[in-house]
Amino acid sequence: MATCPGCALLCDDIDVIVENNRIKETRNACRRGAARMKGCFNRLAPSIAQKPVDIESAIRKAAEILKVAKSPMLFGFSNSTCEAQVKGIQLAKKLGAIIDDTSSFCQGLLIETIFQEKFRTCMLEDVRNKADVLVYWGSDAQDSEPRHLSRFSYFPRGESRQRGYEEDRIAVAIDVRESNTAKICKGHFYRIQPKGDREFILALTDALSGKVPAYEPKKILELAAILKKAEFGVIFAGIGLTYSIKEDMEILVALADKLSNFHIMPMVGHYNMRGFNENLFKETGFVNRVKFEGKAVQHSPAEVLDTPSRGVTLVHDDKYSIVEALRNESIDALLVAGSDPLSSLPRSLVRHLASIPVICIDPCVTMTSKITAVTIPCAVSGVESGGTAVRMDGKKIELSKIIESDYPTDEELLTRLMEAL
Amino acid sequence: MVTVMELYQLLPKTNCKICGESTCMAFAVALLGRKRNISDCTPLLEGNFKKQKEKLEVLLLPSAGAEETGMIVHPELCTGCGNCVVACPVDVANDPRGAAIGCAPTNDKVIFKVVDGKVMASNIKECRRFGKNRVLCYACIDPCPTGAIEFV
Ligand code: SF4
Ligand code: SF4
Ligand code: SF4
């Protein structure tokens, strides 16, 4: 059995048939996972200024860039093992650098709220065994985590849900469009206006408190009745929801307080984004947007934390998110590991990205790697190297090394980079 | 297996809407899903498209001749999500410790398995739509988000 690193569901029931050190066939992995496990379309090669070099020279050049940078940033790690993430955080500390990941523009706030224990949450196995009301909110699980509904949330029979989805479970979708997930939630699809989540949450909170909701009262009251009856409910909160409510997590906390049988689970795409959030949180008390400054760590919005016990201070500030750092042109070197910011950032921000030296550590050619000063290829984690990762619900899962590879792991590369400094 | 794109390339690509679909692409999807026939596209029946029409007929032939039980799986539409694997009552009955509880199938008695990211059907004779006590089961069609399974 192998684990699929295709998304944060980290399916660990995959069979693989290996022939000549290549994965010939996968079983049980979805299409996305199968493609991921079969490797890159285009393997990254080590290069400096887009000219081929050996890995050692690329590492030396990367160290040089980071050493002279006044305000370097480390970004990514959502597709890296926990071991590599810990190394990345150490490197940021050593450099006095900013460190951030994709969660600063997607699920970070929600995950932080969960770490702060403001929500009840649960394991996916609990969902399978106990859940009777499932709410996919701003998340098209069917598309982003293709086996979510079949492995855990809706279709399987569970200990106290022996009759499965037909009779024992109700699936609800709240979204701006009728996604593939919404299609499965037949009869329980609530369409909202773009950015209408806030209004919907407030109306639903009203309905649950016995007030007549200000907005679409009939539908909201009907939904409130379904939620109230739940024995074990789960809200799968996707980026649609978190994008829309942003800093206003408190309204979701207030809604959750009204739903005493409900649990909230963040829907995570990249296979180990939650791992990064967890590792950084352990180290700094924040899940992203952190700057280590001399002996201090900064996080954004600015909160200076003195952590004398560890001999460091940190600052957390919005200006340390990749988006703000690029917008303010406040960084002068960027190391990207296991992420492709160029493919997901707005074009207006790419200009600064293109004007500073970027170092890219990745197994595959990405849009980002095509514009970078230094590229350093690594092994495909979960296929060519093992390690651990954190599933979307927080469970630690072992990744599998399925085939041999000459490429160093991202953890090794970061260690060597630190030595070269 | 033929893809939507291959079908689309052979259509007039004028988005004339005569077929009842809003675009030629939508018509190609409907053709593939067997919701429409080639003859619904009347411009195609006119002179200049003769070659394209013949090619379309050939492309659509293999799935017209489905398994003897009538089940067609369109691998190009399948995302490998496994909903059908877990929802099919035959899989549930034959693999209570595997497919039934959302895990990987543990034996070969199930109808659906996902191989290389796409569903493969076997043991189709076990399907509840056939045999003496047949019932009109929709348990694999309804949970499929992409319409990849159909019976003809
Ligand atoms: S659902 Fe995610 S982890 Fe599971 S097989 Fe698909 S891509 Fe891989
Ligand atoms: S029709 Fe019913 S029994 Fe037949 S394959 Fe589909 S789900 Fe299984
Ligand atoms: S439900 Fe549809 S898309 Fe999912 S595995 Fe089955 S055939 Fe493929």
Compare CB distances from A155 to B83, B104, B113 and report the shortest one's residue. Answer: B83
Q: Answer yes or no: do A28 and B114 touch at CB < 8 A.
A: yes
CA distance A396 to A99: 23
Domains observed in chain A:
42-105+273-420 (3.40.50.740), 108-266 (3.40.228.10)
**Which residue has the least CA distance to atom 2 on ligand 1?**
A7
Q: pLDDT per residue over A41-92, tens digit each? A: 899 999 999 999 999 999 999 999 999 999 999 999 999 999 999 999 999 9
Compare CB distances from B100 to A15, A29, A157 and report the shortest one's residue. Answer: A157
pLDDT value at residue B4: 81
Note the maximum CA span of chain A.
68
CA distances from B142 to B83, B129, B146 (A): 9, 15, 10
Q: How much is the average pLDDT of A391-419?
A: 95
Contact A378, A408 (CB under 8 A): yes
Q: How much is the average pLDDT of A320-339?
A: 89
Domains observed in chain B:
4-64 (1.10.15.40), 71-151 (3.30.70)
- The answer on pLDDT for A406 being more than 90 is yes
**Position in ligand 1 atom list of the atom nearest CA A37:** 8
Q: What is the ipTM of this complex?
A: 0.90
User: Residues of A with CB below 8 A from B118's CB?
Assistant: 31
- The answer on pLDDT for A302 being more than 70 is no
| Ligand closest to CA B138 | 2
Q: Nearest 5 degrees, angle CA B26-CA B32-CA B34?
A: 100
Q: Per residue of chain B (152 residues), give pLDDT as tens.
A: 567 888 898 999 999 998 989 999 999 888 877 778 888 898 888 878 888 888 888 777 654 444 556 788 999 999 999 999 999 999 999 999 999 999 999 999 999 999 999 999 999 889 998 877 788 899 999 999 999 998 87
Q: Which residue of B has its CA nearest to A35?
A: B117
pLDDT value at residue A307: 47
Amino acid at A53: V
- DSSP 3-state assignment of B114? strand
CA distance B19 to B75: 26
Q: Nearest 5 degrees, angle CA B126-CA B77-CA B94?
A: 25
Residues of B with CB under 8 A from a CB of A: 78-83, 85-87, 92, 100-105, 113-118, 143, 145-146
CA distance A311 to A302: 19
Helices (H), B65-129: 83-87, 89-94
In sequence order, the 6+-apart residues with CB closer than 8 A to the CB of A83 are A387, A388, A409, A411
**Ligand 1 centroid – CA A306 distance (Å):** 40
CA atoms lying within 13 Å on the CB side of residue A36 = 21
Note the maximum CA span of chain B.
59
The percentage of residues in chain A with a pLDDT greater than 90, rounded to a whole number, is: 76
Residue in B124, B126, B142, B72 with CA at minimum distance from that of residue A149: B142
- DSSP 3-state assignment of A320? helix
pLDDT value at residue B65: 40
Q: Nearest 5 degrees, angle CA B109-CA B113-CA B117?
A: 170
Mutate to test the pocket of ligand 1, among A1, A11, A36, A383 (most ligand atoms within 8 A of CB): A11
Predicted confidence band at A202 (pLDDT cuts at 50, 70, 90)? very high
Q: Nearest 5 degrees, angle CA A123-CA A128-CA A133?
A: 95
pLDDT value at residue A296: 54
Query: pTM of the predicted model, to two decimals?
Result: 0.84
User: Would you say the CB of residue B89 lies under 6 angstroms from ligand 2?
Assistant: yes
**Ligand 3 centroid – CA A234 distance (Å):** 24
In sequence order, the 6+-apart residues with CB closer than 8 A to the CB of A390 are A8, A82, A272, A274, A275, A278, A396, A397
